[in-house]
Amino acid sequence: MATVEQAAGRVAIVTGGSGGIGSAVARRLAADGMSVVVHYAASAGRAEEVVKAITEAGGTARALPGDIADPTEAARLFAAAEEAFGGVDVVVNTAGIMVLAPLAEMELEAFDRMHRVNVRGTFVVSQLAARTLRPGGALINVSTSMTRLQQPAYGGYAATKGAVEAMTLILAREMRGRDVTVNAVAPGPTATPLYLEGKSEELIQRTAAAAPLERLGTPDDIAETVAFLAGPGRWVNGQVLYANGGIA
């Protein structure tokens, strides 16, 4: 992890910062000394709770709204971060949605919604990050270990995250000479509301037992991985880092 001295003066944007993983990432980067923009789409109350937790712990943060798939709104988010804090050094793209259904039964509208947020949103934010990040910066996108686990009902969701991985790996090569790293984190099953919703206790326990560490991941587990890539992990670039406790 970065020391507070190393992170002082650095600025991070965390998209989906009101969500389970996003809020943990925002708090973790703030604990390292970064000023954090906590982005949200609709959950203003939860985003303000994250900001309050950060400021009460002595950190600096502000909540900002926006549709990350809308280039104008996303650009406004980056501009507001620059105006408030002077620049952007780290972008963590945790915003995403997940709809589960067998491929033969998935509504095309549901797939389109996932594609808009997970693929188009990641593209728009990555494009802005590529144009904006200062030397020494880092872009961290979020994929999923379901691209490896290949579980039924995850086909549509995993397809959107496969696109995220492809964009991430190619952008890392396109950033040659900029001193900016570009990586993706691929969480395994993680105990967030997004993952737990609609699952039986029996299924949750069975999934947890599948990992050699015999538990689900936590948002803090993922935040630690992100903090490494955002701070000291400068020699890790153009990679998909699987944070899943060995489940895949």
Domains of the chain listed by start with CATH number: 4-243 (3.40.50.720)
Summarize the confidence of residues 58-74 as an average pLDDT. Answer: 97
What's the pLDDT at 234?
97
In this prediction, residue 74 has a pLDDT band, given cuts at 50, 70 and 90, of very high
pLDDT at 177 over 90: yes
How far is the C-alpha of 101 from the C-alpha of 116, rounded, in Å?
Answer: 18
Q: What is the mean pLDDT of the chain?
A: 94
- The 10s digit of each residue's pLDDT in 208-243 is 888 899 898 899 999 999 999 999 999 999 999 999
In this prediction, residue 195 has a pLDDT band, given cuts at 50, 70 and 90, of confident
What's the pLDDT at 243?
95
Q: How many CA atoms lie within 13 A of 72 on its CB side?
A: 0
Report CA-CA distances (Å) from 33 to 98, 196, 227. Answer: 31, 31, 11
From the list 40, 154, 157, 195, the catalytic residue is 157
In this prediction, residue 197 has a pLDDT band, given cuts at 50, 70 and 90, of confident
Residue from 167, 102, 101, 158 nearest 140 by CA:
167
- The 10s digit of each residue's pLDDT in 129-163 is 999 999 999 999 999 999 999 899 999 999 999 99
- The 10s digit of each residue's pLDDT in 79-122 is 999 999 999 999 999 999 999 999 999 999 999 999 999 999 99
Query: Annotated catalytic, 157?
Result: yes
How far is the C-alpha of 149 from the C-alpha of 15, rounded, in Å?
Answer: 26
What's the pLDDT at 7?
59
Q: Is residue 237 within 8 Å of residue 210, measured between CB atoms?
A: no
pLDDT at 4 over 60: no
